[in-house]
Structure 1
Amino acid sequence: MRIGLYPGTFDPLHHGHIDIIRRGCTLVDRLVIGVAINRDKGPLFSLEERVDMVKSQCEPIGAQTGTEIVVHPFENLLIDCARDVGAGVIIRGLRAVADFEYEFQMVGMNRSLDNTIETVFLMADAKNQAIASKLVKEIARLHGDVTKFVSPAVKLALAEKLTS
């Protein structure tokens, strides 16, 4: 069984993430979506909220693609998470050159820790290249319309979170 790990904070999950998840499903039999705890980033949504968001948004994708999708929260090293879930490949999305520079460094470090786990980069679809969770949150905070960037359920969750 080919197992892939797609890690991120998913705060919030947006169309760019969904695109990478959908495309990642074509590469593996089981796609583990690793939801990083990462307290340093100060997420808007709690870990439980992000896990629930990812589960609900990805359930139909798993059904459509026939790929088993598992949501797995983690706080350890990415390479250790990959080992924990039995992943042979880490899937990462790239939007721009700046992403590549950071990811290139990460791959080097991960390969020095475990050279049996490969990293595969999927380029963001052109329509998703500008989407970043940080920007989606900023637009929502300033009462802008995030319809183009997130699902209706995530848009509602953002509105509820920012008005409470």
Structure 2
Amino acid sequence: MTTALYPGSFDPMTRGHLDVLVQALNVASKIVVAIGIHPGKAPMFTFDERAEMITASLHEVLPESSGAVSVVAFDKLVVDAARDNDASILIRGLRDGTDLDYEMQMSGMNRQMAPDIQTVFLPAGTASRPITATLVRQIAAMGGDVSAFVPAAVLKALNDRLKR
């Protein structure tokens, strides 16, 4: 049984995140979605809210796979989080060349620290390439329609948070 760690902030979960998560299920039999917790950052959603949105979003598209995915928090190096969760693979989504440049640097550093953990890059689908959680938060906060960018559970959470 191969376990992969898919780290990120997921604040909130986007269709791009979901696309990569679904692809990751073809790479490993178990996926641990690791939500990074940074004391200096104030996320829009709590860890529990993000975990619930991730679980609900996956259930929306692949209800039979929800048992293969768990959600954890981490506040350390991603390679340490991978080891803590018995993951031998790191999943990283790529939208464009800018992501690739950054992720290649991170992959190289992670490889130096943990040569036993392999990074796997998964390309975002064409429809989800321009989507970022930051842009989703900004558009939603300004009253824009983000329904094309987020799963239904996330849209509901955003609307509830922003009182629409």
Following superposition, the deviation at residue 12 of structure 1 comes to 0.3
Q: Identity percentage over the alignment? A: 38
Which residue pairs with 1:89 in the alignment? 89
Cα pair 1:30 1:69 within 8 Å, conserved = yes
Cα pair 1:94 1:121 within 8 Å, conserved = yes
Q: Which moved more, 1:34-43 or 1:115-124?
A: 34-43
Cα distance, 1:132–1:66 mapped onto 2, change above 3 Å: closer
Task: Please give the root-mean-square deviation of Cα atoms over the aligned residues, in Å.
Answer: 1.7
TM-score, length-normalised on structure 1? 0.93
Counterpart of 1:54, as a letter, is I
Counterpart of 2:146, as a letter, is V
Following superposition, the deviation at residue 49 of structure 1 comes to 1.1
Counterpart of 1:24, as a letter, is A
Following superposition, the deviation at residue 152 of structure 1 comes to 2.0
- Say if 2:10 is the partner of 1:13: no
Deviation digits for residues 71-114 of structure 1 (CA, Å, limit 9, x no counterpart): 11111110000000011100100001111111111111111111
Task: Describe the SS at the equivalent of 2:7.
Answer: strand
Task: Describe the SS at the equivalent of 2:162.
Answer: helix
Cα pair 1:62 1:68 within 8 Å, conserved = no
Counterpart of 2:122, as a letter, is L
Which residue pairs with 1:141 in the alignment? 141
Gap regions ≥5 residues in structure 2: none
Task: Describe the SS at the equivalent of 1:54.
Answer: helix
Aligned length: 164
Cα pair 1:15 1:149 within 8 Å, conserved = yes
Which residue pairs with 2:152 in the alignment? 152
Cα pair 2:7 2:35 within 8 Å, conserved = yes
Cα pair 2:56 2:153 within 8 Å, conserved = no
TM-score, length-normalised on structure 2? 0.93
1:43-82 alignment runs, 5 A limit: 43-59=43-59, 63-65=63-65, 68-82=68-82
Deviation digits for residues 15-60 of structure 1 (CA, Å, limit 9, x no counterpart): 0011001110011110111111123342111112111211222245
CA distance in 2 between counterparts of 1:21 and 1:92 reads 10
Following superposition, the deviation at residue 163 of structure 1 comes to 3.2
Cα distance, 1:123–1:31 mapped onto 2, change above 3 Å: same
Cα distance, 1:31–1:21 mapped onto 2, change above 3 Å: same
Which residue pairs with 2:100 in the alignment? 100
Cα pair 2:5 2:90 within 8 Å, conserved = yes
Runs of 4+ in 1 over 4 A off after TM superposition: none
